[in-house]
Amino acid sequence: MSFLRSFQCGHCGVEISLDAPGTTHRNHCPRCLWSRHLDRNVPGDRKADCPGGMEPIAVTVRGEQRWVLVHRCTRCGRLRLNRTAADDNVLLLLQIAALPLATAPFGYAALAAPVVSGAARGTGNGSGQSGAPPKFG
């Protein structure tokens, strides 16, 4: 496919139109969501000194429930927020958004076990605290 104004994704190789529905600056690939470290301070300024790839590492919500990608440069580590576009890969966006749930810092068995306060078990000091911290993992 050939677009009048386009670039090739440095990560997956697909040709991408610069015209992005829902945003004025196309700054990432709608297929793999990767970007390039091009801008220094303002979207579209193209003044970055670092040519690193920008990995999509998270999704956040800003403003009027607008999803925003969080990119981290694989070379210098700089973080950038980039608005999503209407043609972005929705399944990949959801996968990135769910990543913290899939890699929880505690075991899921801890979630299945009911939390019972010391007072309810007849132990502890009646404050609801048994004195020992909960164990995860």
User: pLDDT tens string for the chain (137 positions)?
Assistant: 556 678 899 999 999 888 878 777 788 999 999 998 876 666 666 667 888 899 999 999 988 888 999 999 999 999 999 889 999 999 999 999 999 888 777 766 666 767 666 555 555 544 444 455 444 43
Query: Where are the domains positioned within the chain?
Result: 6-103, 105-137
Which residue(s) pair with 60 in the sheet?
68
Burial of 19 (0-12, 13-18, 19+ CB in 10 A): middle
Write down the pLDDT at residue 136: 40
Q: Which residue is associated with the tokens 């404050």?
A: 127
Among residues 31, 39, 27, 40, the alpha carbon closest in space to that of 12 is found at 31
Torsion angle defined by CA atoms of residues 127, 136, 114 and 109, in that order, rounded to the nearest 10 degrees: 180
